[in-house]
Amino acid sequence: MTKLSFGGHPFLLGFDQLERLVERTAKSGQDGYPPYNIEQIADGVFRITLALAGFREDDLSITLEDRQLVIRGRQAEEGEGRVYLHRGIAARQFQRSFVLAEGVEVAGATLESGLLHVDLHRHQPEPTVRTIPIARAGRRQE
């Protein structure tokens, strides 16, 4: 059985990047930590919210790597004198990735009350219509 790729289909010219994007998204199989929400605030405005109890701004990094939003967290080691009878608040490092569509830009991020909010805006390009002239056989188009 052969694998049908996006780039090889005759109706999908130039969509080979889409295939790479789908493969990259499938490979980023992540566990459920940290939990997050994605909401649409308005038309073309989105917000990703991650629940990050115990994390400070210095413990977090947000980067945009080739249309992939990567949020990483690593807490500093706590003092050795602590003895936990129960430890239910996760204090482990994490990396959460989101693939952004073309035209979606990160507007900013805020951390408040243990929630990290990352705001995204989609810029719609102006629609254009172009007429393509047809050249006659034997004559060059100038």
How far apart (Å, rounded) are the C-alpha atoms in residues 37 and 27? 21
Q: Tell me: pLDDT of 18 over 60.
A: yes
CATH code for the structural domain at 32-77+87-122: 2.60.40.790
Q: Residue 60 in 3-state DSSP?
A: strand
Q: Which residues contact 120 (CB under 8 A, 6 or more apart)?
A: 45, 46, 47, 48, 100, 104, 105, 106, 107
Q: Where are the domains of the chain?
A: 32-77+87-122
Residues 63, 69, 73: CA angle, nearest 5 degrees: 60
pLDDT (tens digit per residue) in 54-97? 899 999 999 998 889 999 999 877 667 888 899 887 678 999 99
Please determine, for residue 48, whether its predicted confidence score (pLDDT) is greater than 90: yes
**Torsion over CA: 3, 102, 30, 41 (sign):** negative
The DSSP annotation for 88-112 comes to: -S----EEEEEEPPTTEEEEEEEEE
pLDDT at 102: 86
Task: Give the pTM.
Answer: 0.70
pLDDT-above-70 percentage for the chain? 73
